[in-house]
A and B are shown apart, each in its own frame.
Chain A
Amino acid sequence: MKVINPALDFVIQAKANYRKVARAKTWEEKIESIVRMRNASTIAKKSMSRQPRKAKF
Protein backbone atom coordinates (compact mmCIF):
# COMPACT_ATOMS: atom_id res chain seq x y z
CA MET A 1 0.00 0.00 0.00
CA LYS A 2 1.41 3.37 -1.00
CA VAL A 3 1.31 5.95 1.74
CA ILE A 4 0.66 9.44 0.45
CA ASN A 5 2.55 11.91 2.56
CA PRO A 6 3.64 15.05 0.68
CA ALA A 7 5.89 16.23 3.51
CA LEU A 8 7.75 12.92 3.63
CA ASP A 9 7.99 12.82 -0.17
CA PHE A 10 9.44 16.32 -0.12
CA VAL A 11 12.11 15.34 2.44
CA ILE A 12 13.04 12.16 0.54
CA GLN A 13 13.28 14.07 -2.73
CA ALA A 14 15.34 16.85 -1.14
CA LYS A 15 17.74 14.31 0.35
CA ALA A 16 18.06 12.47 -2.98
CA ASN A 17 18.79 15.75 -4.76
CA TYR A 18 21.37 16.68 -2.13
CA ARG A 19 23.16 13.35 -2.53
CA LYS A 20 23.08 13.65 -6.32
CA VAL A 21 24.74 17.06 -6.11
CA ALA A 22 27.20 15.89 -3.42
CA ARG A 23 28.32 12.94 -5.55
CA ALA A 24 28.80 15.07 -8.65
CA LYS A 25 31.35 17.35 -6.99
CA THR A 26 35.05 17.14 -7.80
CA TRP A 27 37.51 15.86 -5.19
CA GLU A 28 38.70 19.42 -4.58
CA GLU A 29 35.13 20.61 -4.00
CA LYS A 30 34.46 17.67 -1.68
CA ILE A 31 37.60 18.46 0.35
CA GLU A 32 36.42 22.07 0.72
CA SER A 33 33.01 20.83 1.85
CA ILE A 34 34.66 18.60 4.48
CA VAL A 35 36.39 21.68 5.93
CA ARG A 36 33.03 23.49 6.06
CA MET A 37 31.39 20.45 7.72
CA ARG A 38 34.17 20.31 10.31
CA ASN A 39 33.92 24.05 11.06
CA ALA A 40 30.13 23.79 11.40
CA SER A 41 30.52 20.81 13.71
CA THR A 42 33.03 22.72 15.88
CA ILE A 43 30.66 25.70 16.16
CA ALA A 44 27.75 23.40 17.01
CA LYS A 45 29.76 21.63 19.71
CA LYS A 46 30.83 24.96 21.24
CA SER A 47 27.28 26.31 21.29
CA MET A 48 26.04 23.08 22.90
CA SER A 49 28.59 23.40 25.69
CA ARG A 50 27.46 26.98 26.38
CA GLN A 51 23.83 26.00 26.98
CA PRO A 52 22.82 27.08 30.50
CA ARG A 53 22.16 24.18 32.79
CA LYS A 54 18.63 23.61 33.95
CA ALA A 55 18.09 24.35 37.57
CA LYS A 56 17.46 21.33 39.76
CA PHE A 57 14.51 21.51 42.10
Chain B
Amino acid sequence: METNQKNYFLQLEKDVLAAMEKPTKAYWIALGISASLLLMWAAIWAYQIINGLYVTGINNPVGWGIYLTNFVFWVGIAHSGTLISAVLFLFRAKFRNAFNRTAEAMTLFAIMVAGLFPIIHLGRPWKFYWLLPYPNQRLLWTNFKSPLEWDVFAVSTYFIVSLVFFYVGLVPDLAVVRRYNSGIRKKIYSILSLGWTGSLKQWLHYNKLYLFLAAFATPLVISVHSVVSWDFAMSVTPGWHTTIFAPYFVSGAIFSGTAMVMTLVIPMRKILKLEKYITIDKFEGIAKVMLFTSLIVTYAYIVEYGIAIYSGNIFETSIFKYRAVGDYATIYWIMILCNSIIPLTLFVKKLRRSLVYLFVVSIFVNIGMWSERFNIIISSLSKEFEPYAWGTYSPSFVEVGIFIGSFGMFFTFFLLFLKLLPVLSMSEIKEEVH
Protein backbone atom coordinates (compact mmCIF):
# COMPACT_ATOMS: atom_id res chain seq x y z
CA MET B 1 0.00 0.00 0.00
CA GLU B 2 2.72 2.38 1.08
CA THR B 3 4.75 2.14 -2.12
CA ASN B 4 1.61 1.88 -4.23
CA GLN B 5 0.35 5.21 -3.03
CA LYS B 6 3.75 6.84 -3.43
CA ASN B 7 4.11 5.51 -6.96
CA TYR B 8 0.61 6.54 -7.91
CA PHE B 9 1.24 10.11 -6.75
CA LEU B 10 4.50 10.26 -8.65
CA GLN B 11 2.89 8.85 -11.78
CA LEU B 12 0.01 11.32 -11.51
CA GLU B 13 2.36 14.26 -11.20
CA LYS B 14 4.47 12.99 -14.06
CA ASP B 15 1.46 12.51 -16.33
CA VAL B 16 -0.08 15.90 -15.58
CA LEU B 17 3.22 17.72 -15.92
CA ALA B 18 4.05 15.86 -19.12
CA ALA B 19 1.02 17.59 -20.60
CA MET B 20 2.71 20.91 -19.91
CA GLU B 21 5.95 20.00 -21.65
CA LYS B 22 7.18 21.07 -25.05
CA PRO B 23 4.23 21.39 -27.44
CA THR B 24 3.84 19.00 -30.36
CA LYS B 25 3.42 19.99 -33.98
CA ALA B 26 -0.33 19.39 -33.81
CA TYR B 27 -0.52 21.83 -30.91
CA TRP B 28 1.27 24.54 -32.88
CA ILE B 29 -1.05 24.02 -35.83
CA ALA B 30 -4.11 24.27 -33.58
CA LEU B 31 -2.73 27.37 -31.90
CA GLY B 32 -1.87 28.86 -35.28
CA ILE B 33 -5.41 28.41 -36.56
CA SER B 34 -6.97 29.81 -33.37
CA ALA B 35 -4.63 32.77 -33.25
CA SER B 36 -5.31 33.59 -36.91
CA LEU B 37 -9.04 33.55 -36.21
CA LEU B 38 -8.40 35.84 -33.27
CA LEU B 39 -6.50 38.23 -35.53
CA MET B 40 -9.32 38.10 -38.04
CA TRP B 41 -11.72 38.92 -35.21
CA ALA B 42 -9.65 41.97 -34.28
CA ALA B 43 -9.39 43.15 -37.88
CA ILE B 44 -13.13 42.81 -38.50
CA TRP B 45 -14.00 44.60 -35.28
CA ALA B 46 -11.62 47.41 -36.23
CA TYR B 47 -13.40 47.60 -39.59
CA GLN B 48 -16.74 47.87 -37.79
CA ILE B 49 -15.47 50.54 -35.40
CA ILE B 50 -14.16 52.63 -38.30
CA ASN B 51 -17.32 52.30 -40.40
CA GLY B 52 -20.00 52.13 -37.73
CA LEU B 53 -22.75 49.62 -37.09
CA TYR B 54 -24.23 50.00 -40.56
CA VAL B 55 -21.80 47.29 -41.74
CA THR B 56 -23.79 44.78 -39.70
CA GLY B 57 -27.13 43.30 -40.64
CA ILE B 58 -28.96 44.73 -37.64
CA ASN B 59 -31.80 47.00 -38.56
CA ASN B 60 -35.05 48.37 -37.32
CA PRO B 61 -36.96 46.33 -35.98
CA VAL B 62 -34.25 43.66 -35.44
CA GLY B 63 -31.89 45.76 -33.31
CA TRP B 64 -30.40 42.76 -31.54
CA GLY B 65 -28.73 40.50 -34.06
CA ILE B 66 -26.34 37.63 -33.61
CA TYR B 67 -24.08 39.71 -31.35
CA LEU B 68 -26.60 39.25 -28.58
CA THR B 69 -27.17 35.66 -29.65
CA ASN B 70 -23.46 35.08 -29.19
CA PHE B 71 -23.46 36.86 -25.84
CA VAL B 72 -26.16 34.56 -24.46
CA PHE B 73 -24.51 31.55 -26.10
CA TRP B 74 -21.10 32.19 -24.52
CA VAL B 75 -22.48 33.12 -21.11
CA GLY B 76 -24.40 29.85 -21.25
CA ILE B 77 -21.22 27.89 -22.03
CA ALA B 78 -19.61 29.49 -19.00
CA HIS B 79 -22.19 28.02 -16.68
CA SER B 80 -21.17 24.42 -16.50
CA GLY B 81 -17.77 25.42 -15.13
CA THR B 82 -19.32 26.71 -11.97
CA LEU B 83 -21.83 23.90 -11.91
CA ILE B 84 -19.09 21.29 -12.09
CA SER B 85 -16.71 22.98 -9.69
CA ALA B 86 -19.08 24.44 -7.11
CA VAL B 87 -22.42 22.64 -7.19
CA LEU B 88 -21.00 19.17 -7.75
CA PHE B 89 -18.42 19.88 -5.04
CA LEU B 90 -21.15 20.64 -2.53
CA PHE B 91 -22.99 17.47 -3.60
CA ARG B 92 -19.74 15.47 -3.40
CA ALA B 93 -20.16 14.10 -6.92
CA LYS B 94 -17.03 12.04 -7.50
CA PHE B 95 -16.85 12.50 -11.26
CA ARG B 96 -16.24 16.23 -10.96
CA ASN B 97 -12.49 16.10 -10.29
CA ALA B 98 -11.73 14.90 -13.82
CA PHE B 99 -13.36 17.97 -15.29
CA ASN B 100 -13.30 20.77 -12.76
CA ARG B 101 -10.05 22.46 -13.77
CA THR B 102 -10.86 22.41 -17.49
CA ALA B 103 -14.43 23.48 -16.83
CA GLU B 104 -13.35 26.39 -14.63
CA ALA B 105 -10.84 27.55 -17.25
CA MET B 106 -13.54 27.24 -19.88
CA THR B 107 -15.85 29.34 -17.72
CA LEU B 108 -13.33 32.15 -17.49
CA PHE B 109 -12.57 32.21 -21.20
CA ALA B 110 -16.23 31.95 -22.14
CA ILE B 111 -17.15 34.92 -19.92
CA MET B 112 -14.30 36.94 -21.40
CA VAL B 113 -15.57 36.22 -24.89
CA ALA B 114 -19.21 36.76 -23.87
CA GLY B 115 -18.49 40.04 -22.12
CA LEU B 116 -17.05 41.47 -25.33
CA PHE B 117 -20.21 40.96 -27.37
CA PRO B 118 -22.39 43.64 -25.75
CA ILE B 119 -19.41 46.00 -26.13
CA ILE B 120 -18.98 45.06 -29.80
CA HIS B 121 -22.70 45.70 -30.16
CA LEU B 122 -22.28 49.29 -28.89
CA GLY B 123 -22.14 52.03 -31.47
CA ARG B 124 -19.33 53.69 -29.55
CA PRO B 125 -17.59 50.82 -27.76
CA TRP B 126 -15.01 53.09 -26.17
CA LYS B 127 -17.76 54.49 -23.95
CA PHE B 128 -18.53 51.10 -22.42
CA TYR B 129 -17.42 52.28 -18.98
CA TRP B 130 -20.55 54.42 -18.79
CA LEU B 131 -22.23 51.21 -17.68
CA LEU B 132 -20.29 51.27 -14.43
CA PRO B 133 -21.48 53.37 -11.51
CA TYR B 134 -18.78 55.90 -10.71
CA PRO B 135 -18.90 59.53 -9.56
CA ASN B 136 -18.67 61.66 -12.69
CA GLN B 137 -18.87 65.23 -13.95
CA ARG B 138 -22.46 64.86 -15.07
CA LEU B 139 -23.45 63.76 -11.53
CA LEU B 140 -25.55 61.12 -13.24
CA TRP B 141 -25.57 57.54 -12.03
CA THR B 142 -26.45 54.35 -13.84
CA ASN B 143 -30.06 53.18 -13.89
CA PHE B 144 -30.20 50.32 -11.43
CA LYS B 145 -33.76 49.56 -12.48
CA SER B 146 -32.62 48.49 -15.92
CA PRO B 147 -32.06 44.77 -16.60
CA LEU B 148 -29.07 45.72 -18.76
CA GLU B 149 -27.44 47.23 -15.69
CA TRP B 150 -28.19 44.07 -13.69
CA ASP B 151 -26.31 42.22 -16.40
CA VAL B 152 -23.22 44.35 -15.86
CA PHE B 153 -23.23 43.43 -12.18
CA ALA B 154 -24.13 39.79 -12.70
CA VAL B 155 -21.56 39.10 -15.41
CA SER B 156 -18.68 41.00 -13.84
CA THR B 157 -19.35 39.39 -10.45
CA TYR B 158 -19.45 36.04 -12.17
CA PHE B 159 -16.12 36.65 -13.84
CA ILE B 160 -14.34 37.83 -10.70
CA VAL B 161 -15.72 35.07 -8.46
CA SER B 162 -14.90 32.41 -11.07
CA LEU B 163 -11.38 33.79 -11.37
CA VAL B 164 -10.85 33.63 -7.60
CA PHE B 165 -12.30 30.13 -7.46
CA PHE B 166 -10.12 28.95 -10.33
CA TYR B 167 -7.00 30.45 -8.79
CA VAL B 168 -7.67 29.09 -5.31
CA GLY B 169 -8.11 25.60 -6.76
CA LEU B 170 -4.77 25.97 -8.52
CA VAL B 171 -2.62 27.02 -5.55
CA PRO B 172 -1.63 23.57 -4.15
CA ASP B 173 -1.06 22.28 -7.69
CA LEU B 174 1.11 25.26 -8.59
CA ALA B 175 3.31 24.29 -5.66
CA VAL B 176 3.76 20.87 -7.29
CA VAL B 177 4.58 22.45 -10.65
CA ARG B 178 7.11 24.68 -8.90
CA ARG B 179 8.87 21.62 -7.53
CA TYR B 180 9.37 20.10 -10.98
CA ASN B 181 10.68 23.26 -12.64
CA SER B 182 13.87 25.25 -12.48
CA GLY B 183 15.14 28.69 -13.39
CA ILE B 184 12.75 31.41 -14.38
CA ARG B 185 9.80 29.01 -14.63
CA LYS B 186 10.35 27.94 -11.05
CA LYS B 187 10.39 31.60 -9.98
CA ILE B 188 7.12 32.33 -11.74
CA TYR B 189 5.36 29.27 -10.35
CA SER B 190 6.77 30.01 -6.88
CA ILE B 191 5.21 33.46 -6.97
CA LEU B 192 1.93 32.12 -8.35
CA SER B 193 1.79 29.41 -5.67
CA LEU B 194 2.18 32.17 -3.03
CA GLY B 195 4.75 30.09 -1.18
CA TRP B 196 2.33 27.26 -0.43
CA THR B 197 3.91 24.53 1.74
CA GLY B 198 0.95 22.31 2.54
CA SER B 199 1.12 22.83 6.28
CA LEU B 200 -1.83 21.76 8.37
CA LYS B 201 -2.74 25.37 9.11
CA GLN B 202 -2.83 26.22 5.42
CA TRP B 203 -4.94 23.19 4.57
CA LEU B 204 -7.45 23.91 7.35
CA HIS B 205 -8.04 27.47 6.17
CA TYR B 206 -7.89 26.40 2.55
CA ASN B 207 -10.63 23.80 2.93
CA LYS B 208 -12.92 26.27 4.62
CA LEU B 209 -12.16 28.85 1.95
CA TYR B 210 -12.92 26.39 -0.83
CA LEU B 211 -16.18 25.40 0.82
CA PHE B 212 -17.25 29.03 1.20
CA LEU B 213 -16.28 29.95 -2.33
CA ALA B 214 -18.31 26.98 -3.57
CA ALA B 215 -21.22 28.19 -1.46
CA PHE B 216 -20.85 31.73 -2.82
CA ALA B 217 -20.54 30.53 -6.40
CA THR B 218 -23.49 28.14 -6.31
CA PRO B 219 -26.22 30.83 -6.33
CA LEU B 220 -24.36 32.43 -9.23
CA VAL B 221 -25.05 29.37 -11.39
CA ILE B 222 -28.72 30.18 -11.07
CA SER B 223 -28.62 33.96 -10.81
CA VAL B 224 -26.38 34.95 -13.72
CA HIS B 225 -28.33 33.30 -16.46
CA SER B 226 -31.60 34.31 -14.80
CA VAL B 227 -30.46 37.92 -15.07
CA VAL B 228 -29.49 37.35 -18.69
CA SER B 229 -32.97 35.94 -19.32
CA TRP B 230 -34.53 39.00 -17.71
CA ASP B 231 -32.88 41.17 -20.36
CA PHE B 232 -35.60 39.64 -22.49
CA ALA B 233 -38.35 38.71 -20.06
CA MET B 234 -38.61 42.20 -18.52
CA SER B 235 -39.66 43.66 -21.86
CA VAL B 236 -43.16 43.34 -23.33
CA THR B 237 -42.01 41.77 -26.60
CA PRO B 238 -44.12 38.70 -27.44
CA GLY B 239 -42.17 35.48 -27.01
CA TRP B 240 -39.93 37.07 -24.39
CA HIS B 241 -42.31 38.34 -21.75
CA THR B 242 -42.79 35.12 -19.81
CA THR B 243 -42.10 33.90 -16.28
CA ILE B 244 -40.46 30.62 -17.30
CA PHE B 245 -37.53 32.40 -18.90
CA ALA B 246 -35.19 32.24 -15.92
CA PRO B 247 -35.32 28.46 -15.25
CA TYR B 248 -35.50 27.84 -19.00
CA PHE B 249 -32.29 29.80 -19.59
CA VAL B 250 -30.47 28.30 -16.62
CA SER B 251 -31.14 24.72 -17.68
CA GLY B 252 -30.19 25.63 -21.24
CA ALA B 253 -26.96 27.15 -19.98
CA ILE B 254 -25.98 24.04 -18.05
CA PHE B 255 -26.96 21.90 -21.03
CA SER B 256 -24.75 23.83 -23.44
CA GLY B 257 -21.95 24.06 -20.89
CA THR B 258 -21.74 20.30 -20.32
CA ALA B 259 -21.69 19.87 -24.09
CA MET B 260 -18.79 22.30 -24.45
CA VAL B 261 -16.88 20.54 -21.64
CA MET B 262 -17.14 17.31 -23.61
CA THR B 263 -16.16 19.00 -26.86
CA LEU B 264 -13.00 20.21 -25.14
CA VAL B 265 -12.13 17.33 -22.81
CA ILE B 266 -12.63 14.38 -25.18
CA PRO B 267 -9.82 15.47 -27.57
CA MET B 268 -7.74 16.88 -24.70
CA ARG B 269 -7.78 13.55 -22.86
CA LYS B 270 -6.54 11.75 -25.95
CA ILE B 271 -3.90 14.30 -26.98
CA LEU B 272 -2.48 14.79 -23.48
CA LYS B 273 -2.74 11.03 -22.69
CA LEU B 274 -4.83 11.45 -19.57
CA GLU B 275 -7.06 8.40 -20.17
CA LYS B 276 -6.13 6.95 -16.80
CA TYR B 277 -7.59 9.86 -14.84
CA ILE B 278 -10.48 11.05 -17.00
CA THR B 279 -12.25 7.71 -17.20
CA ILE B 280 -15.33 6.74 -19.18
CA ASP B 281 -17.32 6.48 -15.93
CA LYS B 282 -16.70 10.16 -15.36
CA PHE B 283 -17.89 11.00 -18.86
CA GLU B 284 -20.98 8.96 -18.20
CA GLY B 285 -21.67 11.10 -15.14
CA ILE B 286 -21.51 14.29 -17.13
CA ALA B 287 -23.50 12.76 -20.01
CA LYS B 288 -26.30 12.11 -17.53
CA VAL B 289 -26.29 15.77 -16.51
CA MET B 290 -26.51 16.68 -20.20
CA LEU B 291 -29.40 14.28 -20.82
CA PHE B 292 -31.26 15.56 -17.77
CA THR B 293 -30.92 19.21 -18.73
CA SER B 294 -31.92 18.34 -22.30
CA LEU B 295 -35.19 17.01 -20.92
CA ILE B 296 -35.76 20.20 -18.94
CA VAL B 297 -35.06 22.33 -22.00
CA THR B 298 -37.46 20.23 -24.08
CA TYR B 299 -40.08 20.60 -21.39
CA ALA B 300 -39.58 24.39 -21.52
CA TYR B 301 -40.08 24.36 -25.31
CA ILE B 302 -43.41 22.60 -24.83
CA VAL B 303 -44.52 24.79 -21.93
CA GLU B 304 -43.75 27.93 -23.95
CA TYR B 305 -46.26 26.83 -26.55
CA GLY B 306 -48.72 25.91 -23.82
CA ILE B 307 -48.47 29.35 -22.26
CA ALA B 308 -48.83 31.08 -25.64
CA ILE B 309 -51.88 29.12 -26.70
CA TYR B 310 -53.53 29.23 -23.30
CA SER B 311 -53.00 32.99 -22.98
CA GLY B 312 -55.34 33.65 -25.90
CA ASN B 313 -53.11 36.60 -26.72
CA ILE B 314 -52.93 36.99 -30.48
CA PHE B 315 -49.39 38.42 -30.50
CA GLU B 316 -48.07 35.65 -28.29
CA THR B 317 -49.71 32.86 -30.33
CA SER B 318 -48.65 34.28 -33.67
CA ILE B 319 -45.01 34.64 -32.64
CA PHE B 320 -44.88 30.99 -31.65
CA LYS B 321 -46.53 29.95 -34.90
CA TYR B 322 -44.03 32.15 -36.70
CA ARG B 323 -41.11 30.44 -34.99
CA ALA B 324 -42.16 26.99 -36.17
CA VAL B 325 -43.21 27.81 -39.74
CA GLY B 326 -41.96 31.36 -40.48
CA ASP B 327 -38.80 32.84 -41.96
CA TYR B 328 -36.50 31.22 -39.41
CA ALA B 329 -38.22 27.82 -39.25
CA THR B 330 -35.07 25.98 -40.36
CA ILE B 331 -33.19 27.26 -37.33
CA TYR B 332 -36.14 26.35 -35.13
CA TRP B 333 -36.18 22.75 -36.33
CA ILE B 334 -32.39 22.48 -36.08
CA MET B 335 -32.84 23.53 -32.46
CA ILE B 336 -35.49 20.87 -31.80
CA LEU B 337 -33.42 18.18 -33.52
CA CYS B 338 -30.16 19.02 -31.74
CA ASN B 339 -31.49 19.85 -28.28
CA SER B 340 -34.50 17.62 -27.84
CA ILE B 341 -34.18 14.61 -30.13
CA ILE B 342 -30.50 13.72 -30.56
CA PRO B 343 -29.69 13.85 -26.80
CA LEU B 344 -32.48 11.33 -26.15
CA THR B 345 -30.17 8.65 -27.56
CA LEU B 346 -28.09 9.07 -24.41
CA PHE B 347 -30.69 6.97 -22.61
CA VAL B 348 -28.86 4.03 -24.19
CA LYS B 349 -26.01 3.14 -21.86
CA LYS B 350 -23.77 1.92 -24.66
CA LEU B 351 -23.98 5.23 -26.51
CA ARG B 352 -23.50 7.20 -23.31
CA ARG B 353 -20.22 5.40 -22.79
CA SER B 354 -18.91 5.86 -26.32
CA LEU B 355 -16.62 8.86 -26.42
CA VAL B 356 -16.81 9.31 -30.17
CA TYR B 357 -20.58 9.36 -29.95
CA LEU B 358 -20.55 11.79 -27.00
CA PHE B 359 -18.25 14.09 -28.93
CA VAL B 360 -20.59 14.11 -31.92
CA VAL B 361 -23.63 14.72 -29.72
CA SER B 362 -21.83 17.55 -27.92
CA ILE B 363 -21.20 19.30 -31.25
CA PHE B 364 -24.88 18.95 -32.15
CA VAL B 365 -25.87 20.39 -28.79
CA ASN B 366 -23.55 23.37 -29.27
CA ILE B 367 -25.18 24.05 -32.62
CA GLY B 368 -28.63 23.50 -31.16
CA MET B 369 -28.12 25.88 -28.27
CA TRP B 370 -26.81 28.63 -30.54
CA SER B 371 -29.90 28.12 -32.71
CA GLU B 372 -32.12 28.37 -29.64
CA ARG B 373 -30.77 31.81 -28.78
CA PHE B 374 -31.00 32.95 -32.40
CA ASN B 375 -34.54 31.71 -32.54
CA ILE B 376 -35.57 33.51 -29.34
CA ILE B 377 -33.95 36.83 -30.15
CA ILE B 378 -34.43 37.27 -33.88
CA SER B 379 -37.89 35.82 -34.39
CA SER B 380 -39.48 37.84 -31.59
CA LEU B 381 -37.97 41.11 -32.81
CA SER B 382 -38.82 40.67 -36.45
CA LYS B 383 -42.56 40.31 -35.90
CA GLU B 384 -43.51 42.35 -32.88
CA PHE B 385 -46.88 44.10 -32.66
CA GLU B 386 -47.35 46.36 -35.65
CA PRO B 387 -47.37 44.60 -39.05
CA TYR B 388 -46.02 47.73 -40.80
CA ALA B 389 -43.00 47.61 -38.48
CA TRP B 390 -42.12 44.01 -39.26
CA GLY B 391 -38.84 43.12 -40.86
CA THR B 392 -36.37 40.31 -41.28
CA TYR B 393 -32.72 40.01 -40.46
CA SER B 394 -29.71 38.19 -41.77
CA PRO B 395 -26.20 38.67 -40.42
CA SER B 396 -23.59 40.42 -42.54
CA PHE B 397 -20.08 39.07 -43.11
CA VAL B 398 -18.88 41.32 -40.26
CA GLU B 399 -21.14 39.63 -37.75
CA VAL B 400 -20.36 36.14 -39.03
CA GLY B 401 -16.65 36.95 -38.99
CA ILE B 402 -16.77 38.20 -35.43
CA PHE B 403 -18.75 35.12 -34.41
CA ILE B 404 -16.19 32.75 -35.93
CA GLY B 405 -13.38 34.91 -34.54
CA SER B 406 -14.81 34.54 -31.05
CA PHE B 407 -14.10 30.81 -31.27
CA GLY B 408 -10.54 31.73 -32.23
CA MET B 409 -10.23 33.80 -29.08
CA PHE B 410 -11.74 31.09 -26.90
CA PHE B 411 -9.51 28.33 -28.27
CA THR B 412 -6.38 30.48 -28.17
CA PHE B 413 -6.89 31.07 -24.46
CA PHE B 414 -7.76 27.43 -23.91
CA LEU B 415 -4.69 26.13 -25.74
CA LEU B 416 -2.44 28.46 -23.78
CA PHE B 417 -4.05 27.21 -20.57
CA LEU B 418 -3.25 23.60 -21.52
CA LYS B 419 0.47 24.33 -21.69
CA LEU B 420 0.80 26.80 -18.83
CA LEU B 421 -1.27 25.33 -16.00
CA PRO B 422 -1.92 21.80 -14.73
CA VAL B 423 -5.12 20.55 -16.39
CA LEU B 424 -6.12 18.17 -13.62
CA SER B 425 -6.61 18.97 -9.98
CA MET B 426 -3.79 16.82 -8.60
CA SER B 427 -4.40 17.45 -4.91
CA GLU B 428 -8.04 16.44 -5.26
CA ILE B 429 -7.24 13.29 -7.19
CA LYS B 430 -4.66 12.37 -4.53
CA GLU B 431 -7.26 12.87 -1.84
CA GLU B 432 -9.76 10.72 -3.71
CA VAL B 433 -7.52 7.70 -4.32
CA HIS B 434 -5.70 7.37 -1.00
A binds B: no
